Structure 1
Amino acid sequence: MELLQKLKKDNIQAMRDKDSIKKGVLTLVISAISLAEKEEKRELSLNEEYTFIQKELKQTKDSLNQTPQDRVQMIEDTKRKISILESYLPKQLSKEEITIIIQDLMEKENIEPIKKNQGIIMKNILLNYKGQVDGKIVNEALSSLLK
């Protein structure tokens, strides 16, 4: 896919620029995607490739949260890794945009705004907006809307 090619091209450029942080992040994502393609014996779709970037982004954010505050350089490096990973993902929707999407979905599909329907709505949003939404933010938006 074109995303994998872009990752490889940017990885080569990071090597030329001697940018070890970017090279490390890209190498990790490229190898995860390549391994999955070998296991599946097919090229992955763009959404499947985004999944690997999102997974690495989530792990990096968790790592940032666990880093002691006195490790300033490590925190800066981790924040840089996060920005590198985010640059390869589609623009993330804000909580307000997600709330509007949820309201439209409930209106269009005639879904009652009750907790019982949370799973149905979550599944629909995560499926239709894969790569553009964070499950945690969708859950927060849903919690504020449902009774």
Structure 2
Amino acid sequence: MLTDRLQQQIQVAMKGGDNLRLSTLRLLYSALHNEQIAKMRELSSEEEISIIRRQLKQRQEAIEAYEKGGRAELAEKERVESKILQEFLPAEMSAEEIEQIAEQIIADLGTGGASDFGKVMGAVMGKVKGQADGSTVSRIVREKLLSSRT
């Protein structure tokens, strides 16, 4: 389970004196634990991945805000935290793999217009299950639907 791996990594960071890594891992553990308490059950791996992605998105937003505010040192700290969080995500699918899945689903559903975006997007996200970022999938599906119309 991810929480077991996190606890081991927290101990390693404590022994190594890596305070930034330690605080990042503790925040992630806390987010996972709080979600588990709220749901009153063990989290599935998809839910754990979703929480990690949410944490990453928060870091990305903070990086942008710090850069706009001229706070380069804080933006760099957020970048390091993002890299730490990414260690706990499964390997991402390549754009080519996502394109193949999108093409197959568009062909299977017999769709071809932008009006079918939601239907195709839902089917593709169901297939990639946490192995691809939603914005990347959205961009690829949109491109495929627009190109299939012509």
TM-score for the superposition, normalised by structure 2: 0.88
Once residues 61 and 27 of structure 1 are traced to their aligned partners in structure 2, the CA distance between those partners, rounded to angstroms, is: 19
Once residues 35 and 67 of structure 1 are traced to their aligned partners in structure 2, the CA distance between those partners, rounded to angstroms, is: 27
Q: Which residue of 2 aligns with 1:11?
A: 10
Question: Is 1:77 matched up with 2:56?
Answer: no
Once residues 4 and 145 of structure 1 are traced to their aligned partners in structure 2, the CA distance between those partners, rounded to angstroms, is: 38
Once residues 82 and 27 of structure 2 are traced to their aligned partners in structure 1, the CA distance between those partners, rounded to angstroms, is: 13
Q: Which residue of 2 aligns with 1:45?
A: 44
Q: Which residue of 2 aligns with 1:90?
A: 90
Is 2:28–2:52's contact at 8 Å kept on the other side of the alignment?
A: yes
Sequence identity (%): 27
Is 2:92–2:131's contact at 8 Å kept on the other side of the alignment?
A: yes
Once residues 97 and 64 of structure 2 are traced to their aligned partners in structure 1, the CA distance between those partners, rounded to angstroms, is: 26
Once residues 80 and 51 of structure 2 are traced to their aligned partners in structure 1, the CA distance between those partners, rounded to angstroms, is: 18
Is 1:126–1:135's contact at 8 Å kept on the other side of the alignment?
A: yes
- The CA RMSD over aligned residues, in Å, is 1.6
Task: Give 1:94 deviation, angstroms.
Answer: 2.9
Task: Give 1:95 deviation, angstroms.
Answer: 2.6
3-state SS of paired residue (2:67): coil
Structure 1 segments unaligned to the other structure (5+ residues):
none
What is the identity, as a one-letter code, of the residue corresponding to 2:90? P
Q: How does 1:1-147 map to 2 (within 5 A)?
A: 2-68=1-67, 70-107=70-107, 109-147=108-146
What is the identity, as a one-letter code, of the residue corresponding to 1:98? I
Going by fraction, where is helix more abundant, 1 or 2?
Answer: 2
Is 2:63–2:76's contact at 8 Å kept on the other side of the alignment?
A: no
Once residues 35 and 93 of structure 2 are traced to their aligned partners in structure 1, the CA distance between those partners, rounded to angstroms, is: 27
Write the deviation string for residues 65-95 of structure 1: whole angstroms up to 9, x where unpaired.
2222743322322111111111100111233
Alignment coverage as a number of residue pairs: 145
